[in-house]
Structure 1
Amino acid sequence: MNQYKSLIKNSFLFAIGSIGSKAISFFMLPLYTRMLTTSDYGQLDVLQTTISLLIPLITFQAVEAVFRYSVDMRENKSASSVLMNGILLCLFGMLISLLLFPVFTRIEPFSSYLLFFYLILFFSMLNGVLKQFVRGLGKIKAFVASDLAYTASFVTFNIIFLVYLKMGLRGYFLSMVLAHLINTFILLVFGNVFKYLNFKSFSKSFMKSMLAYSVPLIPNSIMWWIIGVSDRYMLTYFLGFDAVGLYAVSHKFPSLLALLNGIFLRAWQLSAMQEYGKEGYEDFYKNIFGVLSLLLFLVTGLILLILKPLMSVFVADTFYESWKYIPFLLIGNVFQAFSSFFETNYTASKKTKGAFTTSVYGAIVNVGINLLLIPIWGIQAAAFSTMLAYLTMWLLRIFDTKKFVKIKIDWKNLILSIILIGIQIVGLYTITNIITFFIVEPILILAMLFIQRKYIKQVYNFGMNLLKELRTSAN
C-alpha cells in the first residue's frame, strides 16, 4: 500500500508544476496562432527541435546521470560531486555548440535568431541539470516551484512582448530567456543548491562513472528525437515552414497526453528505482500499467470527441486543418507512453543497452516511412510514421525487458480498447452528421470503459481504502 501512496503523492506534486509548465504551449495556442503566422510557428518549432537534439549530444546526457546518481546520494556528501560534474558537462557542451556557430550563421531560421538560440540552449542545459538534481535529492517542492515560476513568468512576458509590443518571434524568444533566468534563481534559492556548489567537489573518477552510465543513453535519446521530431526537417525540405507550422500545432493536442504521462512518469521513475528487485514488484508493475492504459485511452477518447469543435474556436482559421493530423499523433503518444513506462526497467537496473537497441528500430521505421510517404501523403505521413515508430519500440521493449522483470499484460483488454479508439477515429473522418457523431462516439467511449472496468474498480477500491486511512489518522 505504501508504494502506491508514494507514487500518488509524487504524481500529485509533479502535477501541480507540470500542468502549468508543460500545458502552457497548449493553453497559449489561441494567442500564438493569432500573433504568429504558420511560417513563424514553423521556424519556432525547428529552432526548439534543434535544441532538443543538441542538448543530449553536447552534454553527454548529463541530466540523466545527474538524476540517477543524485537519487543514490541523497544523504551523501558526494551529492555535490554529482552537481558540479553535471554543471561542468553543461559548460563543456556550450563550448562544443560554439564550434557550430559558422554553420548556424548561414542557415535559416538560426541566422535570424542566433543570440536567442544560444541563450535558450545554455539555460535549457543548466536548468535541466539543476532541476534533475533537486528532483533526485527528493526536493519535489523546489522542483514544482521552479515549474510554476517558469510558467507564470513566461506567460506574463508573452503577453507583454507579443500582445502589447508586437515583437513577434523575437518577443517569444525573449520571454523564454527571461523565464529561464527566473527559473534558475528559484532552483538555486528554494532548492538550496548553493549548498552544493563547490568546485573542489569535482571528481575525475566519479565523472567517468557518470559518463559510463549516461553515454550509452545518447544514442537512445537520438532515436527518440528522430521518432518524435525529426519529421519537422523532412517536412521543411519537402513542403516548407508553413507545413511545419501546421504540424507543430497538431502536436499540441496530443501534448495533453504527453503531459498526463510526463507527470506520472516522473513519479513512476522514482517508485520504480525504489521498488526494483523487491518482492511484489511485478504485481505493482502490472497494476500500474493497467491503470495508466485506462487513463490514456480515456483521455484519447475524450479529445477525439471534442476535437473538431474545439479546433474551430481554439486556433486561428489558418491553422484549422491541423485537426486532420491529430488522431494518428494521439495514438502515437499512447504508444510512446507505454514505451517510456517499460524503459524505466532499463534505468532502474542500470542496463541501458536495450533502451538504445529498441529505439533504433523505431527510428528506422519513422525515417523510412517519412522518406517514402511525405512526398505522396504530405503532413499525414509524418503523423502516421510517428505512430508506427512508437508502436514498434513499445512491442520490442515488452519482450526485451523480460530479461529484467516478467510482466503479464492484459492483452485482451488492451487490444479491444485500441480497436474501439480506431473505430472512433474512423468516425471522426467519415461521420458528417453532428447528431449521429455525438451519439456514436460517446457509446464507443462507454464501451471502452466497460472493457477496462477491472482497472476502474482497482482505482475505486484503492481510493476508498486511502480515504479510510485518512479518516482513521484524523481521528
Structure 2
Amino acid sequence: MFSQLKRLGADSLLYAFMNVGTKLIAFALFPFYTHYFPDPAEMGVLGLIDRNFNLLTFLVIFGTDSALAFYYFEYKDKETREKYVRSVMTFRLTIVLILLLVFFAGGDWLSTLLFNSTKYTFLFYIAFGTLFLDTIISLVLTILRYEFKTKRVVLTTVAKMLLTAIFSMLIIAFIWTSLEGVLIGRLISVAIIMLVIIKPVSVYIRPLFDWEILKKILIYATPLVPASLAFYVISNANIFLLNEYSTKINVGIYESATKFATFITLLTTGIQLAWRPFSMSMKDKESSPKLFSSFYAIILLAGCFGVLTLATIMPFVVLMLSENYQSAYAYVAPISIATFLNFYYLIVSTGIFYSKQTKHVSIAFGIAAIISIVLGIVVIPMYDIWGAVIAYVVPYCVALFLVFRKSQKLYYVPFSGFKMAWTIFWLIAATVSIVYIQVKDLNSWLIAGVWIGFIVLILLIRMDKYFVKRK
C-alpha cells in the first residue's frame, strides 16, 4: 500500500505545485488588469466570454477524456493506444470547427445578446483561435499524464500560464490596451507551447476517422455529456437566481467568496489529476478494493481538515480587503464544501468508470441540477446569500451519494457509506458553527472546541481503521 501511496502522493504533490503556480500567476495578473481596465464593465465582458468558452470546452471534450482514460489503459500496445488518441483528437477538432462555423453565422447575434452590441464579436474569434490550439495541447498533456510524465506536464502547464501573463502584460502596456490585447496574449502563449511540444503533437494531430474506435469512445463518453451540462447548471444557477431575487452588491459578495473558496482546489487538483491514471492502472489488481478504501478515507479527511482550516483562517485573509468585501468571509468555507464534493465524487466513482456505466454520473448530476434550480427558487428569496450557498452545497451532497451508491454496486470497495455521510454531515455542522462563532466573536476559544468535537466524532466511528494495514 505504501509504495502505491508514495506514487500517488508524489504525483499529487507535483500537480498541486502546478495548481499553486498557475493560481499565483492568475492572482498577480488581476491587479494589473484592474489598473489598465478601471471600468469593471470591461472585466465583466472578459468574464462572460470566459464563461461561455468554458461551456464550449465541455462540448468539445464531450466526455472523451474519461473514455480515453479507460481505453488507453485497456490496451497495452502503442499502436492501438495511438489510434484512440488520434481518434479523440480528430473528434474534438471537428467539434471546434463546427462551433466556429456556427459562430460565423450567429456571432453578431450572440454578442448583441450578451453585451447589447456587436463590437465584441471580434473577441470571440480570437478566443476561438485559443480554443483550437488549447484543444490540441490539453489532449497531448493528458497523454503525458497517463504515461506518468508528471514533471513535463507540470512544467508545460506553468510555462503556458506564465507566458500568458507576460504577453498579455506586454501587449496591454505597450501595444494594445484593450480586451483584444488580453486575448491575443493568450493566443500567442498557446502557440508557443504548441511549438515546445511539437513532437507528440505531430504524432497525434494526424486525422484518423476510425468509426469502430469512435463508436466505442462515444458510447462510453456520451452519457457523461449531460453531467457536464449539469455541472454548469449547478455552478451558475444560484448566481443567476441571486441576481434575480437579491441585489448586485450581494451578487458581488457571493462572487468574491467563490473566488476565495477555490483555495480548496490547491489541495484537490493535484490529487484529481493524478487519480484517474493511477486508479485505471490499478483496475485489474486483486488488492485494489482495500487499497482504494484507504484512499477514500485519507482524501475525505484531508478535504475536511482543509475546509475547516479555511473556515478558521479566512476572516484574517478577507478582512485585509476593502470594507465592502469583508462580509464575504462567512461564505467562503461553506462554498468550499461544494467545491470539495465536486472533486470527491471522482474519487468514489471508481466502479462506474471501470464498468463503463457512465450514464449514472449524468443521471446523478441531472437530478442534482434540478434540485439546484428548485432549491434556489425556494431558499434564495428567504435567505439571500445563505440561500445561494444552500442551493450550491445540497445538490453536490445528493449527487455524491447517488454516484457512490451506484459505484459500490458495480465495483465494491470496502468503504462505509454511513461513515462517509457521518463525516460530511459533521463537516457541514462544524463549518457553520465556526462561521457563527466568528460572527459573534472572531477570537473565541470555542472555535478550538469545534475542532476537537469534530475530531472526536470522526474517531467515534473509527475512520482510523482504514489506515491500519490489513492482511
Identify the TM-score tier after normalising by the shorter chain: 0.7 to 0.9
Mapping of residues 31-46 of structure 1, within 5 Å = 39-46=41-48
In structure 2, how many angstroms separate the alpha carbons of the residues matched to 1:317 and 1:160?
A: 32
Structure 2 gap segments, 5+ residues each = none
Q: Is the 8 A contact 2:194 2:201 kept in 1?
A: no
Q: Closer, same or farther in 2 for the Cα pair 1:205/1:46, shift >3 Å? A: same
Letter in 2 for 1:68: F
* Aligned mate of 1:127, from 134, 137, 156: 137
Match of 2:344 in 1: 338
Q: Closer, same or farther in 2 for the Cα pair 1:392/1:24, shift >3 Å? A: farther
Q: Closer, same or farther in 2 for the Cα pair 1:91/1:36, shift >3 Å? A: farther
In structure 2, how many angstroms separate the alpha carbons of the residues matched to 1:238 and 1:156?
A: 40
* Aligned mate of 2:154, from 132, 137, 144: 144
Shifted more, 100-109 versus 414-423: the winner is: 414-423
Letter in 2 for 1:150: K
Please report how far the alpha carbon of residue 452 of structure 1 lies from its aligned counterpart in structure 2 after TM superposition: 4.8
Q: Is the 8 A contact 1:30 1:316 kept in 2?
A: no
Partner SS for 1:78? helix
In structure 2, how many angstroms separate the alpha carbons of the residues matched to 1:374 and 1:170?
A: 37
In structure 2, how many angstroms separate the alpha carbons of the residues matched to 1:347 and 1:434?
A: 46
1:347-389 CA-to-partner distances (Å, cap 9, x unmatched) read 2222212111111111111111223344554444332211011
Please report how far the alpha carbon of residue 333 of structure 1 lies from its aligned counterpart in structure 2 after TM superposition: 1.9
Q: Is the 8 A contact 1:15 1:263 kept in 2?
A: yes
Identical pairs, percent: 19
In structure 1, how many angstroms separate the alpha carbons of the residues matched to 2:284 and 2:354?
A: 9
Match of 1:264 in 2: 271
Match of 2:206 in 1: 198
Please report how far the alpha carbon of residue 233 of structure 1 lies from its aligned counterpart in structure 2 after TM superposition: 4.4
Please report how far the alpha carbon of residue 183 of structure 1 lies from its aligned counterpart in structure 2 after TM superposition: 3.4
Letter in 2 for 1:173: L
In structure 1, how many angstroms separate the alpha carbons of the residues matched to 2:281 and 2:86?
A: 25
* Aligned mate of 1:82, from 74, 81, 84: 84
Letter in 1 for 2:145: R
* Aligned mate of 2:318, from 311, 321, 328: 311
In structure 2, how many angstroms separate the alpha carbons of the residues matched to 1:208 and 1:60?
A: 13
Mapping of residues 111-122 of structure 1, within 5 Å = 111=118, 112=120, 113-122=123-132
Match of 1:284 in 2: 291
Letter in 1 for 2:140: L
Letter in 2 for 1:134: L
Partner SS for 2:112? coil
Partner SS for 2:66? helix
* Aligned mate of 1:327, from 326, 330, 333: 333
Match of 1:71 in 2: 73
| TM-score, length-scaled by structure 2 | 0.83
Match of 2:432 in 1: 425
Q: Closer, same or farther in 2 for the Cα pair 1:134/1:321, shift >3 Å? A: same
Please report how far the alpha carbon of residue 339 of structure 1 lies from its aligned counterpart in structure 2 after TM superposition: 1.8
In structure 1, how many angstroms separate the alpha carbons of the residues matched to 2:177 and 2:244?
A: 27
Q: Closer, same or farther in 2 for the Cα pair 1:284/1:28, shift >3 Å? A: farther
Match of 1:250 in 2: 257
In structure 2, how many angstroms separate the alpha carbons of the residues matched to 1:59 and 1:176?
A: 20
In structure 2, how many angstroms separate the alpha carbons of the residues matched to 1:156 and 1:446?
A: 46
Please report how far the alpha carbon of residue 57 of structure 1 lies from its aligned counterpart in structure 2 after TM superposition: 2.2
Shifted more, 355-364 versus 48-57: the winner is: 48-57
In structure 2, how many angstroms separate the alpha carbons of the residues matched to 1:433 and 1:234?
A: 29
Q: Is the 8 A contact 1:39 1:245 kept in 2?
A: no
In structure 2, how many angstroms separate the alpha carbons of the residues matched to 1:100 and 1:140?
A: 36
Please report how far the alpha carbon of residue 96 of structure 1 lies from its aligned counterpart in structure 2 after TM superposition: 2.6
Partner SS for 1:279? coil
The answer as to 2:16 corresponding to 1:6 is no
Partner SS for 1:276? coil
In structure 2, how many angstroms separate the alpha carbons of the residues matched to 1:130 and 1:381?
A: 41
* Aligned mate of 1:442, from 448, 462, 466: 448
Match of 2:373 in 1: 367
Partner SS for 1:77? helix
Please report how far the alpha carbon of residue 296 of structure 1 lies from its aligned counterpart in structure 2 after TM superposition: 0.9
Partner SS for 1:303? helix
In structure 1, how many angstroms separate the alpha carbons of the residues matched to 2:297 and 2:29?
A: 32
In structure 2, how many angstroms separate the alpha carbons of the residues matched to 1:294 and 1:161?
A: 45
Q: Closer, same or farther in 2 for the Cα pair 1:275/1:36, shift >3 Å? A: farther
| TM-score, length-scaled by structure 1 | 0.83
Match of 2:219 in 1: 212
Match of 1:228 in 2: 235
In structure 2, how many angstroms separate the alpha carbons of the residues matched to 1:167 and 1:388?
A: 43
The answer as to 2:407 corresponding to 1:401 is yes
Structure 1 gap segments, 5+ residues each = 463-475
Shifted more, 287-296 versus 71-80: the winner is: 71-80
In structure 1, how many angstroms separate the alpha carbons of the residues matched to 2:196 and 2:161?
A: 12
1:300-323 CA-to-partner distances (Å, cap 9, x unmatched) read 11111121221132x555544433
In structure 2, how many angstroms separate the alpha carbons of the residues matched to 1:231 and 1:168?
A: 31
The answer as to 2:360 corresponding to 1:350 is no
Q: Is the 8 A contact 1:223 1:362 kept in 2?
A: yes
Partner SS for 1:253? helix
Match of 1:17 in 2: 18
Q: Closer, same or farther in 2 for the Cα pair 1:121/1:250, shift >3 Å? A: farther
Mapping of residues 296-307 of structure 1, within 5 Å = 296-307=303-314
Partner SS for 2:79? coil
Q: Is the 8 A contact 2:426 2:454 kept in 1?
A: no
In structure 1, how many angstroms separate the alpha carbons of the residues matched to 2:42 and 2:327?
A: 17
Q: Closer, same or farther in 2 for the Cα pair 1:16/1:209, shift >3 Å? A: same
* Aligned mate of 2:163, from 150, 153, 167: 153
In structure 2, how many angstroms separate the alpha carbons of the residues matched to 1:37 and 1:293?
A: 42
Partner SS for 2:286? coil
How many pairs were matched up?
456
Q: Closer, same or farther in 2 for the Cα pair 1:58/1:388, shift >3 Å? A: same
Q: Closer, same or farther in 2 for the Cα pair 1:250/1:399, shift >3 Å? A: same
Q: Closer, same or farther in 2 for the Cα pair 1:242/1:57, shift >3 Å? A: farther
Q: Closer, same or farther in 2 for the Cα pair 1:447/1:288, shift >3 Å? A: same
Q: Closer, same or farther in 2 for the Cα pair 1:166/1:265, shift >3 Å? A: same
Letter in 2 for 1:325: Y
Please report how far the alpha carbon of residue 391 of structure 1 lies from its aligned counterpart in structure 2 after TM superposition: 0.5
Letter in 2 for 1:422: A
